[in-house]
Structure formats: structure tokens, C-alpha cells
Amino acid sequence: MWPPRFGRTRLETFQIGDHRYAAQPFTSPRKKRARSCLRYPAVHRRRRRRKHRSQLPGCGAMMVVKGYSAWSARQISILCLLWATGLFLRIPVLAVSPLAGRIAEDLKLSTTGTGALTIVPVVVLALAAPLAVWAIARIGPARTIAVGLLLSAVLSASRGWTSSAVLLFAATIGMGIGIAMFQTALPSAVRGWLPAQAAMGSAVYLNGMMVGELLGAGATLPVVVPLAGQDWRMALALWAIPAAVIALLILLTGEKAKPGGPTPVAPDWPDGRTWELGLWLAGSIAVFFSINAYMDVTLSARGDAAWLGVLIVAYNATALLASLAMLWWKAAWIGRRRPVVMTGIVAAAGMIGFGFVPGPVGYLCALVAGFAASLQLILIMSLPPVVTAESNVARLTGGITFVGYLVAFALPLLGGLLSDAVGGVAMVFLPTAVFILTLTGVSRKCGGYAECASDVGGKV
């Protein structure tokens, strides 16, 4: 009998495919006592007589068991691979920061050269994004991820065996190209491997990226360096081993045949979403890195340098909290424009608050800005697999990465120049805040980013 009646058992919600419905109690016209049962929406009441439950939308990708969705073993293994791959989007870059003093001492690097070890890979990420789009079109996303992981692992380890600064930076540039390859290919792989759960797949690998940020900066000295016998060269090699193992696992799992027909090999520059999302990405990255870069100077100018250690750890932890929040919300915001805009405004306001308000209120503003900027970055980087056709995911991702990282590199530098010219440490945050607020005003008015809803594999 349908709808099913549960007697004393009250079922609050039930799910069919990707759609979740609320149980609605009603009073039977024949009996006065209330009975808890499930009311099927009208559109599905008509379908249920013609189709089996497994034929309803979304049921082909997930199993429906007793009213809830269960991931298959294949999907869980894919999510694990995505999460592990996301770790190494940041570990090779940020693992250098705790080792910078030892590297500078051994290779006689200047202060500028030491700082460039973490800045150069960010610039290479932007410049190599179009190359990654070409590689995806030629060999497919899975092989591009594997090649990028292997390239970054080998060249990251080789940084430890260089004898000069020139060779060190050459290896760093090559490592950045490898990271750009698999970072650009990950959204395409998510769309191909998890077509009905692309938003959740994106949230998972971006959670891995946030965890990688903490591990790269926080676990290198207390964990990896002792395992390496206090040798920074061996420490870089140890970090590279898991990346190579993940690349081999991706190659062993295989991938679908490459779609036939000509595939575009360059970002889709005429697409307005490339520029809009790229500029929003630049704002989120600039907020996060500006506060990180100038936190020491800002606190020292106020006489609060004693709070630096606690605040910088708490600030960087907001990125992980943002990714966990996105997983908790089951990626419900991905594909909607308003959350992207609102998180950008909150991040800009928090950054200005940290720059101009001293004391605990300013610290709280920094944490709010870090959380909002990280949330916005996740929302933007998760968009390509869910708002465009599968053949266009790599092009959109490559364009967003190119625009976003280049502009994000320029904004903190512009803030530093403004601070030197005008005076006042807080002025370093002004260009980024003005950029975000201006972008909010000129951004096109639309309800969402999914311009081709029929091409979207999952629920947006």
C-alpha cells in the first residue's frame, strides 16, 4: 500500500535518489486520530505507478536503502583518492616555509630569494593552467592528474639535492607546473567519476587541500624532519613519496575512454564566467594571503607581537573549518551565486576590521575573514564540474585559475606599495577590500552560474 504507514514510528524525512522530502502528518477523514505517513509530491505520485524506484532521477548513481542514500564501494574509493590528491595541492609548496631558514643557510639565499620559494609556485600555477588544459584534452583528466602528481613529487624531492639557487628555483618551477596540471584536472575528473555527486566530490578534494595546508606548515618540523634525521633535503623527499604512490593508484584504477571528436585545448576566454569567477577567486586568495603575509607587521606595529603565534595558528585553522562546514552542509551552496558574493563581502569587511581595529575585536575580524575567504574559495573551485558541460570543465577551470592566481599575486604587492607610499600598516589591506567591493557592484546580475542546466550531472 502506498503511501506507507508506519503506525507509531514517525519518519521525519525520506530520500529518493538525490531528492529528500519531509514526512507530513495528516488526519484521516475516516478516523479522527492523526497518523504519521509520507506524502509523495504530486510529480512523483504520478511516476510511481509507471516506474520502479530505481528508475527515478539520481538513483542510478546512489543506492536507496530504507529511506537514505548509501555510497557504493567504488564511490567511496574515488572520494578517498580525491581527498588524498587534494592534500598535495599545498603540501609541496608550504612544506618549504618551516625549512626556509635551513635552505637559505645551505644555499646562501637572500631574504627575497627565501620568500620566493613559496611565491614562485603560486605564479607558476597561474601561468601553467592553459598548459594543463591542453594536457587534459590530449591524455584525459585521470592521466593528467597522475602525470602532474609524479612530476611534482619527483621535482619536489629533487629540490633537496640541488647544489645552487638556480637549480633550486628550476626544480620549484617544474614542481609548480606539475601542481597546476593536476589542480586543473581535478574538477574534470570529479565530473567524470561522480557525475551525480560532483559538488560533494569537489568539496572532498578541497577539504584535502585545506588539511594539506595544515600538514605542510604544521607537521614538517615536529614529524617529518625528525624522521628525516634533521636533514631538510631528506624531509622534502619523504613528503614526495605519498604523492608518487597516489599517482600510481590513479593509473592502476584506469579511466574511461577519451570522448571522440575535437576537444578544445585552451581556456574559453570569451566565456563571461571565466572572468567573473576568476576575479572572485582572486579576491578570496588575496584576502587569505594578505592577512597571512602582513599579520606579523600589523601586530608588531600595535605592540601585540606576543599574540602572533596563537593568532596565526587559529587563522590558518579557519580554512579547515570552512571545508568541514561545506561537507556538513553537503555542498548545498555550490552552484548558487549569492553565497559567493556574500562570503566575499564578509571577507573584505573582516580584513578591514583586522587592519583598522586593534585588540580582540580585530583578532575576531581576522578569523571571520579567513573563514569567509576559505568558504568562498571552496565555492568557486567547486563550480566548474556542476555548472558546465563535461567537455568544458577543464577550460573553465584553467581560465579561472589563470585569472585568479595572477590577480591575487598582484593585489598584496599593490597593498605593500601603497603602505610604503602613504604610511600606515593598515593600508596594505585597502586595495584588496576595494577590489572585492567594486567587483560586487559590477558583477553581472544573475540567479546562478549554471548556464546550461541540462548539462549538469547532479543537483545544483
The verdict on 148 and 283 lying in the same domain is: no
The one-letter code for the residue type at 102 is R
Q: Are residues 143 and 221 in the same domain?
A: yes
Phi-psi region of 230 (alpha: psi -120 to 50; beta: other; left: phi over 0): left
Asked whether residue 6 is assigned to any structural domain, the reply reads: no
What is the Cα–Cα distance from 241 to 92, expressed in whole angstroms?
11
State residue 289's pLDDT score. Answer: 83
User: Does 1 reside within a domain?
Assistant: no
For residues 106 and 33, state if they share a domain. Answer: no
Cell 527515478, residue?
56
- Under a CB-based contact definition with an 8 Å cutoff, are residues 82 and 186 in contact? yes
Sign of the CA dihedral running 212, 214, 215, 217: positive
Q: Does some domain include residue 5? A: no
Residue 296 lies in a domain: yes
Indicate if 22 and 163 belong to the same structural domain: no
- The grid coordinates listed for 432 are 584588496
2 within a domain of the structure (yes/no)? no
Q: Which letter does DSSP use for residue 258 in this model?
A: P
Residue range of the domain that includes 320: 268-460
Kindly list the distances between the CA atom of residue 452 and the CA atoms of 60, 222, 388, 397, 448, in Å, as whole numbers in the listed order.
21, 48, 6, 16, 11
| Angle 216-219-222 from CA coordinates, rounded to 5° | 145
Q: Please tell me the predicted confidence (pLDDT) of residue 217.
A: 77
Are 174 and 234 in a shared domain? yes
Show Cβ contacts of residue 317 under 8 Å, excluding neighbours closer than 6 positions.
214
**Helix or strand or coil: residue 447?**
coil
The Cα–Cα gap between 56 and 42 comes to 14
Distance CA 93, CA 310 (A): 22
Q: How far apart are CA 270 and CA 166, in angstroms?
A: 38
Residue 147 inside a domain? The answer is yes
pLDDT of amino acid 3:
44
pTM: 0.73
Q: Alpha-carbon distance 400 to 282, whole Å? A: 9
The closest of 337, 336, 283, 333 to 445, measured between CA atoms, is 337
What integer pLDDT is reported at residue 18 of this predicted model?
A: 55
- Check whether residue 168 and residue 46 sit in a common domain: no
DSSP for 358-394, written as a single string: -HHHHHHHHHHHHHHHHHHHHHHHTSHHHHS-GGGHH
- Residues ≥6 apart with Cβ < 8 Å to 98: 217, 220, 221, 225
Same domain, 257 and 124: yes
Among candidate residues 266, 282, 298, the one where a domain is terminated:
266
Q: Let me know if residue 279 belongs to a domain.
A: yes
Distance separating alpha carbons of residues 342 and 437, to the nearest angstrom? 11
- The total domain count for the chain is 3
Cβ atoms of residues 188 and 182 within 8 Å = no
- pLDDT at position 33 is 46
**Residues 63, 133 within the same domain:** no
Residue of 86, 178, 88 whose CA lies nearest to 128: 178
Q: Give the three cell numbers for residue 404.
A: 585568479
Q: For position 455, what pLDDT does the model report?
A: 39
Same-domain status, 92 and 62: no
Per-residue pLDDT of the chain (460 residues; tens, 9 = 90+): 444 444 444 444 555 555 555 555 444 444 444 444 444 344 444 444 444 443 333 333 333 333 334 567 888 888 899 999 999 998 998 888 788 888 888 888 876 677 678 778 888 988 998 899 999 888 888 999 999 999 999 999 999 888 888 999 999 999 999 999 999 999 888 888 888 788 788 888 989 998 988 888 788 888 999 999 999 999 999 999 999 999 999 988 765 544 444 566 678 788 888 888 899 999 999 898 888 878 878 888 888 888 877 888 888 889 889 888 887 876 667 777 788 889 999 999 999 999 898 888 999 999 999 999 999 998 888 888 877 877 788 888 889 999 998 998 888 888 888 888 887 788 888 999 999 988 887 765 544 454 433 334 333 3
Alpha carbons 103 and 24: distance in angstroms, whole number? 65
Asked if 166 and 20 sit in the same domain, the reply is: no
Q: Say how many C-beta atoms besides its own lie within 10 A of residue 269's C-beta.
A: 12
Whether 344 and 439 share a structural domain: yes
Q: What are phi and psi of 5, to 5 degrees?
A: -110, 140
Q: For residues 183 and 108, give the distance between their C-alpha atoms in angstroms, rounded to a whole number.
A: 32
Q: Which of 266, 301, 316 is the last residue of a domain?
A: 266
- Judged on CB neighbours under 10 Å (0-12, 13-18, 19+), 21 is middle
Which burial class, exposed, middle or buried, applies to 43 when counting CB atoms under 10 A from its CB (0-12, 13-18, 19+)? exposed
Same-domain status, 111 and 78: yes
Which of these three, 221, 242, 266, is where a domain ends?
Answer: 266
Would residue 3 count as lying in a domain? no
369-381 CB burial, b ≥16 within 10 A, e <16: bbbbbbbbbbbbb
Q: 306: exposed, middle or buried (C-beta count within 10 Å: 0-12, 13-18, 19+)?
A: exposed
Q: Kindly report the CATH number assigned to the domain that includes residue 315.
A: 1.20.1250.20
